[in-house]
Amino acid sequence: MSIVADRLSRIKPSPTIAVTSKAKELKAAGRDVIGLGAGEPDFDTPDFVKEGAYKAIKAGQTKYTAVDGTPELKDAIIAKFKQDNDLDYARDQITVGTGGKQVLYNALMASVNPGDEVIIPAPYWVSYPDMVLLAEGTPVIVECAKENDFKLQPNDLESAISPKTKWVILNSPSNPTGGAYSRDEMKALTDVLVRHPHVYVMSDDMYEHLVYDGFEFCTPAQVEPALFERTLTCNGVSKSYAMTGWRIGYAGGPKELIKAMAKVQSQSTSNPCSISQAAALTALTGDQSFLQERNDAFKERRDFVVEELNAADGISCLKPEGAFYVYPSCAGVIGKNTPDGKCIKTDEDFVTYLLESEGIACVQGAAFGLSPYFRISYATTMEALEEACKRIQRACSALQGEAKAA
């Protein structure tokens, strides 16, 4: 009898973490590798946030806290939701977990019964389907075409809803595409959801603050107040505040669900790190002006990367509204041969070729549920991006033969 439980056979390890680890390994072995796989800002956590953490340590805030977040942090989150999203939550409608990931995981564990369906638009963040599977639910994947900027269309949402649908997960700005729903686009989706009162909405707003060109972020419960009672609005400090290692995520939602999520957390990890909670409190209540400075840098990098990728043979890339990812199509290289005679049949073959020939580490679209694409994270220096784009262009030019329609 295997030591490993059957439920683990349903899921796979995170492919994005696998790419990052492989790139680190190759680097450690002396290879010249440019990592474009990581889902984290290259910027450091702001100094004022670190100061908040030092103060908390010195003040002895080093013990257990309330299971799902300190009252002070919950109050700061309530103020944030009010100010940024016009959402009114009370303390018992707020939860804090060890990263956005734990919050989403708790929510699914606390709510999904075997056989419940969870609608996930593809391309999706890699963890959604596997978390649903761990919770014994059924992911219902809805492909979102490049022609629609990889965004879920109201008709496709409508067709995917069944009596078994428990949740639809929306993620805007998106990992992996960077695409974000405008208010009109979001309203078209919430109009569908209003007609299906048994469906709950999980809105993953992790990249809320990372939007460019004056784009106005919106979240479902804000756009359609009728959905407030059945929406879990998820967010966190990892990406916007460059705090991926601190592990703080949070959400606002229905009291009954929030209480159930605290139950899951109380029997697994207990409270998120007390020092990290103090740091997150400092981040949310401090001067936010650094966000704009960093966004200016991200925008410049996005514009550069999109232009350079579109100049590569066989690659075509949309310019998305936010996050720090682009999701170029590699349809134009499928069917071509590498200089050593290997045929590129899939996006996975293509990213393997980029890594082996030019030391470029990025992630194949298959990992996000839509091929033939690949994800590039531009959360790295301009110098690294310049060199990376040069190498991608060179790798594409070196391919031989004709592309075959993928």
- Interface positions with ligand PLP (CB under 6 A): 39, 99-101, 125, 171, 175, 204, 206, 236, 238, 244, 249
Instruction: State the nearest-atom distance from the C-beta of 176 to ligand PLP, in Å.
Output: 8
Instruction: State the nearest-atom distance from the C-beta of 403 to ligand PLP, in Å.
Output: 31
CB-closest chain residue to ligand PLP? 99
Instruction: State the nearest-atom distance from the C-beta of 97 to ligand PLP, in Å.
Output: 8
Instruction: State the nearest-atom distance from the C-beta of 104 to ligand PLP, in Å.
Output: 6
Cα 47–chain centre separation: 25
Residue closer to ligand PLP (CB basis): 100 or 332: 100
Instruction: State the nearest-atom distance from the C-beta of 131 to ligand PLP, in Å.
Output: 10
Residue closer to ligand PLP (CB basis): 89 or 250: 250
Residue closer to ligand PLP (CB basis): 175 or 271: 175
Residue closer to ligand PLP (CB basis): 65 or 127: 127
Instruction: State the nearest-atom distance from the C-beta of 222 to ligand PLP, in Å.
Output: 18
Residue closer to ligand PLP (CB basis): 101 or 166: 101
**CB of 131 closer than 8 Å to CB of 137:** no
Q: 236: closest CA among 39, 34, 16? A: 39
Residue closer to ligand PLP (CB basis): 100 or 123: 100
Strands 363-364 and 249-252: unpaired
Instruction: State the nearest-atom distance from the C-beta of 234 to ligand PLP, in Å.
Output: 7
Quote the CA–CA distance of 347 and 373 in Å, as a whole number: 6
Instruction: State the nearest-atom distance from the C-beta of 275 to ligand PLP, in Å.
Output: 16
CA distances from 115 to 87, 136, 158, 199, 289 (A): 32, 7, 19, 14, 46
Quote the CA–CA distance of 310 and 313 in Å, as a whole number: 8
